[in-house]
Chain A
Amino acid sequence: MTQPSTTLAPGAADSRVSLVVAINQALREEMARDPAVYVLGEDVAVGGPFGATAGLAELYGERRVRNTPISEGSIMGAAVGMAVLGLRPVVEIMFVDFITLAMDQLVNHAAKLHYLSGSQLRVPLVVRVQCGVMGGWGAHHSQSLEAWFVHVPGLKVVMPATPADARGLLKAAIRDDNPVLFVENRALYWGLGDLPPGEGLVPLGQAAVRQAGGDVTVLATGRLVGEALAAARDLGGEGITAEVIDLRSLVPLDLETVVTSVRRTGRLVVAHEAVLPGGYGAEIVAQVQRAAFDYLDAPVERVGAPFAPVPAGPSLEEAFLPGRTQIAAAVRATLGR
């Protein structure tokens, strides 16, 4: 397992940081700013498997950076019980695959208590999960399950694709008074990017246009944003200009940015790493066709993983994982090529 450096190396020639370091920085900044921010999860006091929480226990103590037993359901429930009394817990579920064990607390309590209590209770909770296919880790350490949570009223769902967004969205999620599922793709952890000076907050519910283009809109989440940009470069060689939008927040959804783009390009490809059937892409397509039906020049294409568990062997894993090739093919399909 790769252990990244979490040294921020200020003043070094390359000022860029990795996404996992950006997450670490967001946690440090928010814990320094607000004593109500607590971090809890398995191994968090020793940095976790990828270093996302490295150094926090040394800075803020093991009361606020709390290692837990391997009891995901009770960790999640405890975090809800903390949040309703005013703390701002950040729970780490080491792999999103393990969140199945904590679904009950997240779905039945965290998401519902504000509504069910008639606004007497608030649940300012962030659940950090790490997801994604990489390195043959297999079916219990690789899934993309965000669509399950998008279906739950009361939850917000965020997927950063860059270090700057990881920091800015995580800080915004911690300051939000609602439970937020913060989905980190492991394959992005070591990708580098610049962080903006200052707070660098990124509001939840705002998509980002990563590349302007006129022929087709490609909407992507998480790891597929980089794949979409790579596909756009490939397509450029064929004289096709693609507008690439990074959705960033699944809930709340910034439909306006998507629809504005689609009204201009007349074509849409929606891409995510999760399996295709029942994926969040389907919801986007439904909403976009209603808002921009008269502007669409071709059926909307979706890109996602095949409807199968994530296989561990390298050849099958490669066949499973959607990327630039599938996105480029989908774009061509919208153009009848």
Chain B
Amino acid sequence: MDIAEARGLLGTMWTIRAFEERLAELVASKQLPGLVHLSIGQEATATGTCAALRADDYIYTGHRPDGPFIARGADLNRMMAELAGRATGYCHGKAGSMHLVDVEHGLLTATGIVGGNLPLGLGSALVCQERGAEQVVVVFFGDGASNAGYFHESLNIASLWRLPLIFVCENNGYAEFTPLSAHTVIERLAVHAEKYGIPTATLDGQDVLVVRAAVQQAVDRARAGEGPSFLECLTYRLSGHYVGDPQRYREAAELAEWRERDPIARFRRYLIGEGLIADGTAPDGAWAGEQIEEATLEREARERVEAAVRYALDSPWPSPEEVATEVYA
């Protein structure tokens, strides 16, 4: 694999991880406000998906927006400022975490309504189809959304109209605090989409390369006018449902098991195998090519996040008069 590509994917995953770890601290210590949902452990789905997209494609996220936003290249300063409620944020301090928008990067909106972004994706995919410019729309949602009416309505309409829409289901095994087995009798969520005639794949969502390859196939189909695809990415949220979640609903053993499948560690092992990261066991000079210094990538990610935190906390609050501006266009 190309080293620049590898560095890009690993760096993106580290940036998401660093951003959310810092965000968790800031929210827990009340330096930042709000109800914030993290995706620690799910970085490969966002990173792999966005790596297969063009700059002019569109994305809708659910209530865990950080991964796709960062993977898409959104500005960390403006993201953090938005989470801090500052005037310099993407949405002037009005959105917070669950309503983030960055139109420049095709990030049309996050949403606080589980499954509510699926119909939005239909409409935007319809626009892409009408433009004939081979653009596609990706909608991120979780396993919990599969029980919403929107889910079934949207699968039906996307298939009926052959829309260039890619359903990326991040099946992290929990709808808030409730395990999948307690909220549906369906074991593989991709089964739903099959019934609506949509090509599906259930895949290892912890493997960034597997995700990227599957999304690439779906994107190719969509650009060729062959309609929607449904990807069920099996993943796991190592963080709680929200910052502050006491997480009484899961066992330590389960958490430990999934820590072993951490997508960053997973990709690291792959890159060591490829000789792109030194694992410290090879004798000096055994690998003549350029290698990735993961520690440097991680440090740079944390530094960029720290700069974003400073930017956010140094930014002005919106003036009180802003409360009722921008209500109408």
Contact = CB atoms under 8 A, between A and B. Distances in A.
Interface of A: 63, 68-69, 71, 73-87, 89, 104-105, 108-109, 112-124, 153-154, 156, 177-178
10 contacts: A71-B156, A74-B122, A74-B157, A77-B119, A80-B120, A81-B127, A84-B123, A87-B130, A105-B116, A118-B91
Given A115-B94, A121-B101, A81 B329 contact: no
A300 B2 CA distance: 77
B261 interface: no
Given A81-B121, A118-B92, A118-B94, 15 more contacts: A73-B150, A74-B153, A76-B119, A77-B150, A78-B120, A81-B60, A81-B125, A84-B124, A85-B108, A87-B127, A105-B119, A113-B109, A116-B109, A117-B103, A120-B103
Interface centre among B101, B119, B123, B156 (most CB of A within 10 A): B123
Contacts of A84: 108-109, 120, 123-124
B113 interface: yes
B326 interface: yes
A119 B119 contact: no
B153 A69 contact: yes
A120 B91 contact: yes
Given A74-B157, A81-B124, A116 B329 contact: no
A116 B91 contact: yes
A117 B95 contact: yes
Nearest to A177: B329
A87 B108 CA distance: 15
Contacts of A109: 109, 111, 113, 116, 120
A178 B329 contact: yes
B54 to A, nearest CB: 15
Contacts of B320: none
A83 B126 CA distance: 11
B117 to A, nearest CB: 8
Nearest to A84: B108
Nearest to A122: B329
B118 interface: yes
Given A78-B122, A85-B127, A116-B99, A73 B153 contact: yes
Nearest to B126: A82
B57 to A, nearest CB: 12
B123 A77 contact: yes
B326 A118 contact: yes
Nearest to A63: B130
A25 to B, nearest CB: 25
A96 B79 CA distance: 39
B280 interface: no
Per CB-CB distance, the 8 closest pairs between chain A and chain B, nearest first, are: A77-B119, A81-B123, A78-B123, A118-B91, A74-B153, A71-B153, A118-B92, A117-B101
B123 A82 contact: yes
A119 B326 contact: yes
Given A73-B150, A108-B113, A78 B119 contact: yes
B94 A81 contact: no
Contact of A118 (B90, B119, B328): B90
Interface of B: 58, 60, 89-92, 94-95, 99, 101-103, 108-109, 111-113, 116, 118-128, 130, 149-150, 153-154, 156-157, 160, 324, 326-329
B276 to A, nearest CB: 38
A153 B326 CA distance: 10
A69 B156 contact: yes
Given A116-B94, A154-B327, A121 B109 contact: yes
Contacts of A85: 58, 108, 123-124, 127-128
Given A78-B126, A109-B116, A153 B327 contact: yes
Contacts of B60: 81
Contacts of A69: 153, 156-157, 160
Nearest to A77: B119
A317 to B, nearest CB: 32
Contact of B327 (A68, A83, A114, A177): A114
A78 B165 CA distance: 12
Contact of A117 (B109, B121, B156): B109
B116 A77 contact: yes
Given A74-B118, A109-B111, A114 B326 contact: yes
Contact of A116 (B95, B119, B122): B95
A114 B329 contact: yes
Given A77-B119, A81-B121, A104 B113 contact: yes
Contacts of B58: 85
A156 B327 CA distance: 11
Contacts of B156: 69, 71
A78 B91 contact: no
Contacts of B121: 81
B118 A77 contact: yes
Contacts of B328: 114, 154, 156, 178
Nearest to B163: A78
A68 B149 CA distance: 16
B103 A121 contact: yes
Contacts of B329: 114, 119, 122-124, 177-178
Contacts of B118: 74, 77
A177 to B, nearest CB: 4
A82 B91 contact: no
Given A115-B326, A154-B328, A77 B120 contact: yes
A118 B322 CA distance: 10
Interface centre among B94, B101, B122, B329 (most CB of A within 10 A): B329
B126 A81 contact: yes
A73 B120 CA distance: 10
Contact of A81 (B122, B149, B327): B122
Contacts of A116: 91, 94-95, 99, 101, 109
A290 to B, nearest CB: 18
